[in-house]
Amino acid sequence: MDDTARRDTGLRRPDGMANAAFVLGLVGLVVLPICLGPVAIVLGVLALRRDTTLRGRARLGLALGTADVLVFAVSLAAERDWLGPLF
């Protein structure tokens, strides 16, 4: 394929990271928060460091990833208190 035939999509790699951070952070609130939360945090930080044009979305992904980890930690602590002396 000729270079002139290729089309530029206009989507930069950091913008894709910002979108992925947002989506993973949002999905992580419902499913697998301990796995998706840290990935959203890392992608959000990388997108911000690489100067994304979607800074708000990267920050939102970072916040949602942090919320994922906090929700998991609180639910784990609540479950441990609820189970009491069993563990």
**pLDDT, tens only, 28-45:** 999 999 999 999 999 999
pLDDT of amino acid 47: 93
Of 64, 58, 45, 51, the residue nearest 18 (C-alpha): 58
Q: What gap in Å lies between CA 87 and CA 82, rounded to an integer?
A: 10
- Span 72-76, mean pLDDT? 89
Cα torsion through 35, 31, 13, 49, rounded to 10: -60
pTM over 0.85: no
pLDDT at 6 exceeding the cut of 60: no
To the nearest 10°, report the CA torsion of 17, 22, 24, 29.
160
